[in-house]
Amino acid sequence: MKLQLVFFAAFAMLLFSATAIRPAAAVEPDEVLTNPALEARARTISSQLRCLVCQNESIDESNAPLAHDLRVLVRKRLLTGDSNEQVKAYIVARYGNYVLLKPPFIVETYILWFGPLILLLSATAAVIFFFRHRAYLPSEPAPLTDDERRNLSDLLDEPDDNMGVG
């Protein structure tokens, strides 16, 4: 009972630490806008844009120089009066839909949306095909017929002419 309690406590601590730890934002102090409303909008937009260097992080979380440049660009566009959608459209026009962490559901991005499902279905079909055809294979070879035994015996009894020195 005590061992179960220890495992439960360890699991609870692990779960808590995994949910409590979040990546620190990589926004540098010189990037932060003085207007809190604009800064909040910039953070919202930055959290939706993919770092093209890191690929699994938003530009808000990435320390890559390109992410820094994109964060500065987002803030410049906001200072010129662009809306959130205009800023994202501007960056997508320059870098493509791949820069969005959540790409739109259009023909060009179908492979991003359906690729994992296609791979999973293909792998499942391959496993099923493998095990079904494996079931049809005989586990032991069929015994030799009398004719096959005679032929084998004749082949084994004949001396090989190629083995002689010559």
Domains of the chain: 20-104 (1.10.8.640), 109-159 (no CATH)
Supply the pTM of this predicted model. Answer: 0.55
Fill in the DSSP letter of residue 142. P
For the chain, count helices (H), then strands (E).
Answer: 6, 0
What is the chain's alpha carbon radius of gyration, rounded to the nearest angstrom?
A: 33
Note the pLDDT of residue 154.
Answer: 87
Asked if residue 59 lies in contact with residue 50, where contact means CB atoms within 8 angstroms, the answer is: yes
Note the pLDDT of residue 132.
Answer: 84
Note the pLDDT of residue 23.
Answer: 45
Span 1-18, pLDDT tens digits? 666 666 666 666 666 665
Note the pLDDT of residue 17.
Answer: 60
Cα–Cα distance, 74 to 97 (Å, whole number): 16
Quick one: CA torsion of 32, 34, 40, 46, rounded to 10 degrees? -30
Span 81-116, pLDDT tens digits? 999 999 999 999 999 888 998 888 888 878 878 999
Note the pLDDT of residue 117.
Answer: 94
Please report, for residues 29, 56, 89, 113, 117, the alpha-carbon distance to residue 93 in angstroms, rounded to integers and kept in the order given. 28, 21, 6, 21, 28
Helix/strand/coil for 71: helix
Note the pLDDT of residue 102.
Answer: 87
Span 22-63, pLDDT tens digits? 444 567 767 788 888 989 999 999 999 999 888 788 998 888
